[in-house]
Amino acid sequence: MAEKDVNMLSLEEAAAELALLAQVLGAANLAYHQDDAPEISDSEYDRLKRRNAAIEAQYPSLKRADSPSEQVGAAPAEGFSKVIHAQRMLSLGNAFEDSEVEEFAQRVAKFLGVQDAGLSFTAEPKIDGLSLSLRYENGILVQAATRGDGETGENVTANARMIDSIPQQLQAVPELLEVRGEVYMSHADFENLNSEQAEKGAKPFANPRNAAAGSLRQLDANITKTRPLEFFAYAWGAVSEPLAETQMGAIERLGALGFVTNPLTKLCAGAEEMIAQYRVIEAKRATLPYDIDGVVYKVNALDLQERLGFRATTPRWAIAHKFPAELVWTRLEAIDIQVGRTGALSPVARLTPVTVGGVVVSNATLHNEDYILGRDNKGEEIRGGKDIRIGDWVQVYRAGDVIPKVADVDLSKRDESAAPYVFPTVCPECGSAAVREEGDAVRRCTGGLICPAQAVEKLKHFVSRKAFDIDGLGAKQIEMFYADEVLSIREPADIFTLAKRDAGELGKLKNREGWGSRSAEKLFEAIESKREIGFGRLLFALGIRHIGEQVAKLVAAHYVSWGRFREAMDAAQGERSEAWQELLNIDGIGEVVARALVTAFGQTHEREGIERLVSELIVVDAAQAASDSPVAGKTLVFTGTLEKMTRAEAKARAEALGAKVSGSVSAKTDLLIAGPGAGSKAKKAADLGIETIDEDGWISLVAGL
C-alpha cells in the first residue's frame, strides 16, 4: 500500500494510522520479547517505528497513551525524530559595515516604493545560542523543534519542557501559535557547568553555545533538566490569528504571555538610529551575561513584512548586523592541496593550533591559487597584495563564526629564506596535468575518473544525503570499498552489484575487519531500498559539473521521464538541433549548463558508466511543476504604472505563485496586467488576443493565495 507523505495526512487519517501502528508494533514487541520469534523483519519494524515517530512529530496532539515510541523495552530511538516546520525557519542576510545597513534600509524602501524616512525598524541583540520553535495548540505546549536545515528540525519537546523560561501553558492565545526564539546559557552557568564537568572527569564544553546545544540535544531529558538553559522569544512561525500589527507589538504581546523577551529591543526610525542602537549594544556586549554576535534589524510594520516577503533563504525585511570576527595570529606550517569531485585543487592551510572564538582551529581554507598569491585574476589586490608563504605568521578568523580563513600576513615576521608558494600544475593525487581555464579562479586536475581522488569524491557525492542517501555507506566506507580488491566500488553501478558479488565465493564483507554479518546485511538492505530513485535525485547524484540540486530538479521537471531525457540528450549532441534549443529554453538553463549535460551524455566513457548504473535502477518519473494557483506556469507581463505596489513586489508575488514574469509581450504571454499609462504593450496584447486585467484585477486574482 502506498503511504502518504506524513505532512499530507489529514487529522483523521493520522489518528487511524497511529492506532494501527500501535497495534502492529505492540504485537511485534510481544512476539519479539516473549516468543523470541519476530513476526516482522527488523527492517520492517524499524521502518514502522520511524513512520510512527514521523506522524507523532507532525501531529503531537494525536500521540497515544500506548504510543509505541514510549514502550519500555523498545529499542532506543536513534537520535530525535524529525519535524517538518509548518513555516520554514529561515536564516538572515548579513551586514558587516554601517553602509550595508543603509543599503538595507534603502532596498526595503525601494521595494515598497516609499520614502525611507517613513519606515521604522526594530533592533535587538542577536543571541549566540540555538534557535527553537515552540508549538502551542490551544495554549498548550505540544512540540518543540530545533531549526535543523530550516525545513526539517529535530523534535526536542521533552527537553524543552525542562527549560524554566519556556511556559508550558499560555492564557488567551490564538488556537495555534508557534513561538520562536533562542535557547542559550549564561556565562556564569556555563562556568559552573564546566567545573562540574571537570569534577566528574567529563570533557568541558568549548563555549556557552556548544554547552547549550549539547544540553538541549540530550536523549535523556532528565539530563537537560539539570542544565541551566534559558530562552528569549523574538519571533513566531505559524499562527491562527495575527499577534499584533507591528514587530514591536508582537514582541510585547509575547512578553505579556509570559515569555522572556530581550530588554535591549528598540524601535528605530531609520538606518541612523539602527546603527546608533548597534553601538549601544556593542558597548554593552562585554557586560551582558550571555554571548551575542550582532544586532538584528526588522521592518516594524507586519503588513510591510508580508509585502516584502522572502528571497530564496532569507526574508527581505530583516538583516543581521554582525560584530567583527575575532582575529588571532598563528603560524602557517604547511599548505596541502585537496582534490574535489570536479577536479578542483583546493589549498588548505595547516596551522599551529590556536583558539579562535572558543574553538581550536588547525586548518583553514586558502580558497585558490590567487588567494595565496594576493591578487585575483583581474589583478586586484587581496590583503593589500601580500602573498602567503609557508612559515608565515598569519591572522585567522572564522568567517560567519564557522569556516576558518586566513585574513592577513605579518610581513615583518617573515623568514628571509621563505620562498613564494608555487601552486602545483600537476595533480598531487594522480599526476595528471592541472590546468586553469581562462577567467577561471580554480585549477583543475584533468585526470577525470583516472584520478582516484576525483573518483572517490564523486562516489561520496553519489551516496550523500541529497543524492542516494544510502545509510551505512558514508565517506569512510566509500574509501574502504574503493581500495578493496574484491568487493570494490569504483563507480556508482558497483554499489548495486555489491550484494551479488558478496554472495560469490571470494572475500565476504562480513569477514572484513569492522564488519559483521548483521552490519553487512544492513548495508545490503539499505542499498536495495534505494534501487528505486527519482529522476531528479539520480541526475543530481551523477555529479556532473554545474548540475546541482536545483538544476537537476528543473531539468527533471521539464523532461519528466528519464527515457525522454536520455533521448533528448542524444538528439542534442548536434548543436542547433531542436533538442538543444529545447534544453536552452528551460528557464534557468544557459549554455554552460546545457553543454555540461550534453557533453556528459555524449562522452562514451561517461555515458557507459551512466548506462551501467541505470540498468541497476528503477527510475521514477519526476512530478510536473506544481499548479495549484491560477497563474502557475503562466507567463505574465506587467506594464504601465502600478499604484498599490512596486514592480519588484508584483513580480516577486507572481513568481512565488509559480508564474514567470517577462518584460515584453509575445505570443507566449498568457496574461497582461496593465496599469494607467500602458502603451504599446497593451496594444500588442490586444492584437494578439491576450487576456488583460488591471491592477485591482490582479490583486483580487491573487488575494488569499
Partner DNA sequence: CAGCCTCGAGTTCC
Partner DNA sequence: CTCGAGGCTG
Residues 71, 218, 346, 577: which binds DNA (CB under 7 A)?
346
Positive or negative: CA dihedral 539, 543, 544, 545? positive
Q: Is residue 94 involved in binding DNA (CB under 7 A)?
A: yes
Q: Choose the binding region for DNA from 299-307, 439-447, 525-533, 557-565 (rule: CB under 7 A).
A: 439-447
Q: Tell the smallest beta-carbon distance from residue 167 to DNA (Å).
A: 29
Q: Is residue 210 involved in binding DNA (CB under 7 A)?
A: yes
C-beta of 263 vs 633, nearer to DNA: 633
Q: Choose the binding region for DNA from 136-144, 185-193, 297-305, 341-349 (rule: CB under 7 A).
A: 341-349
Q: Tell the smallest beta-carbon distance from residue 359 to DNA (Å).
A: 5
C-beta of 425 vs 529, nearer to DNA: 425
Which cell goes with 396? 585567522
On whether the CB atoms of residues 554 and 586 are closer than 8 A, the answer is yes
Residues 57, 332, 594, 622: which binds DNA (CB under 7 A)?
594
Q: Which class for 429: exposed (0-12), middle (13-18), buried (19 or more C-beta within 10 A)?
A: buried
* DSSP-based three-state secondary structure for 600: helix
Q: Is residue 379 involved in binding DNA (CB under 7 A)?
A: no
Q: Helices then strands (H, E): number in the chain?
A: 25, 24
Map residues 270-309 to x or -, x wherever contact with DNA holds by CB under 7 A: ----------------------------------------
Q: Choose the binding region for DNA from 34-42, 255-263, 394-402, 509-517 (rule: CB under 7 A).
A: 394-402
- Rounded to the nearest angstrom, the gap between the alpha carbon of residue 29 and the centroid of all alpha carbons in its chain is 37
C-beta of 141 vs 304, nearer to DNA: 304
In single-letter form, the type of residue at position 105 comes to: A
Q: Is residue 91 involved in binding DNA (CB under 7 A)?
A: yes
Q: Is residue 197 involved in binding DNA (CB under 7 A)?
A: no
Alpha helices in 409-464 (DSSP H): 452-463
- Rounded to the nearest angstrom, the gap between the alpha carbon of residue 111 and the centroid of all alpha carbons in its chain is 26
Q: Choose the binding region for DNA from 13-21, 215-223, 440-448, 502-510 (rule: CB under 7 A).
A: 440-448
Positive or negative: CA dihedral 660, 661, 664, 666? positive
Q: Is residue 661 involved in binding DNA (CB under 7 A)?
A: yes
Contact set for DNA, span 147-186 (CB under 7 A):
none
Residues 324, 384, 663, 689: which binds DNA (CB under 7 A)?
663
Residues 160, 593, 636, 654: which binds DNA (CB under 7 A)?
593
Which cell goes with 329? 595570529
C-beta of 118 vs 590, nearer to DNA: 590
Q: Tell the smallest beta-carbon distance from residue 409 to DNA (Å).
A: 16
C-beta of 173 vs 361, nearer to DNA: 361
Indicate if 126 belongs to the active site.
Answer: yes
* DSSP-based three-state secondary structure for 672: strand
Rounded to whole angstroms, what are the CA distances from 261 to 150, 250, 257? Answer: 22, 11, 11
C-beta of 6 vs 349, nearer to DNA: 349
C-beta of 51 vs 545, nearer to DNA: 545
Q: Tell the smallest beta-carbon distance from residue 285 to DNA (Å).
A: 19
Residues 365, 432, 497, 629: which binds DNA (CB under 7 A)?
365
On whether the CB atoms of residues 179 and 121 are closer than 8 A, the answer is no
Residue 595 half-sphere exposure toward CB, CA atoms < 13 A? 3
Q: Is residue 341 involved in binding DNA (CB under 7 A)?
A: yes
Map residues 528-567 to x or -, x wherever contact with DNA holds by CB under 7 A: ----------------xxxxxxxxx---------------
On whether the CB atoms of residues 123 and 278 are closer than 8 A, the answer is yes
Q: Is residue 400 involved in binding DNA (CB under 7 A)?
A: yes
Candidates 73, 34, 533, 156; CA nearest to 49 is 73
Distance separating alpha carbons of residues 342 and 449, to the nearest angstrom: 10
Q: Is residue 327 involved in binding DNA (CB under 7 A)?
A: no
C-beta of 50 vs 88, nearer to DNA: 88
Q: Is residue 311 involved in binding DNA (CB under 7 A)?
A: yes
Q: Tell the smallest beta-carbon distance from residue 573 to DNA (Å).
A: 18
Residues 98, 282, 376, 582: which binds DNA (CB under 7 A)?
376
Rounded to whole angstroms, what are the CA distances from 341 to 457, 511, 697? Answer: 5, 31, 51
Q: Is residue 343 involved in binding DNA (CB under 7 A)?
A: yes
Candidates 191, 442, 265; CA nearest to 337 is 442
C-beta of 119 vs 539, nearer to DNA: 539
C-beta of 343 vs 447, nearer to DNA: 343
Map residues 21-60 to x or -, x wherever contact with DNA holds by CB under 7 A: ----------------------------------------
Q: Choose the binding region for DNA from 43-51, 243-251, 335-343, 572-580 (rule: CB under 7 A).
A: 335-343
Mark residue 277 as left, alpha or beta (left: phi above 0; alpha: psi -120 to 50; beta: remaining): alpha
C-beta of 79 vs 590, nearer to DNA: 590
Contact set for DNA, span 668-697 (CB under 7 A):
none
Distance separating alpha carbons of residues 580 and 354, to the nearest angstrom: 53
C-beta of 135 vs 316, nearer to DNA: 316
User: Residue for cell digits 528503477?
Assistant: 618
Distance separating alpha carbons of residues 631 and 649, to the nearest angstrom: 16
C-beta of 440 vs 608, nearer to DNA: 440
Q: How many residues bind DNA (CB under 7 A)?
A: 61
Candidates 424, 450, 428; CA nearest to 338 is 428
Distance separating alpha carbons of residues 300 and 294, to the nearest angstrom: 19
Q: Is residue 342 involved in binding DNA (CB under 7 A)?
A: yes
Query: Per the residue annotation, which of 49, 63, 82, 126 is the catalytic one?
Result: 126
- Beta strands (DSSP E) in 565-693 are 618-620, 635-639, 660-662, 671-674, 691-693
Q: Is residue 352 involved in binding DNA (CB under 7 A)?
A: no
Distance separating alpha carbons of residues 63 and 56, to the nearest angstrom: 6
On whether the CB atoms of residues 136 and 173 are closer than 8 A, the answer is yes
Tell me the DSSP string of 245-279: SBHHHHHHHHHHTT----TT-EEESSHHHHHHHHH
Q: Tell the smallest beta-carbon distance from residue 142 to DNA (Å).
A: 29
Which cell goes with 34? 516473549
Tell me the DSSP string of 460-517: HHHHSTTTT--TT--HHHHHHHHH-SSS---SHHHHHTHHHHHHSSS--GGGSTT--H
Distance separating alpha carbons of residues 568 and 585, to the nearest angstrom: 13
Q: Tell the smallest beta-carbon distance from residue 5 to DNA (Å).
A: 22
Q: Is residue 508 involved in binding DNA (CB under 7 A)?
A: no
Q: Is residue 404 involved in binding DNA (CB under 7 A)?
A: yes
Mark residue 659 as left, alpha or beta (left: phi above 0; alpha: psi -120 to 50; beta: remaining): beta
Q: Tell the smallest beta-carbon distance from residue 533 to DNA (Å).
A: 18
Q: Is residue 395 involved in binding DNA (CB under 7 A)?
A: no
By annotation, the residues acting in catalysis are 126
Residues forming the site for DNA (CB under 7 A): 91, 94, 107, 206, 210, 311-312, 338, 340-344, 346, 348, 359-365, 367-368, 370-371, 376, 399-404, 439-442, 457, 544-552, 587-594, 647, 651, 660-663
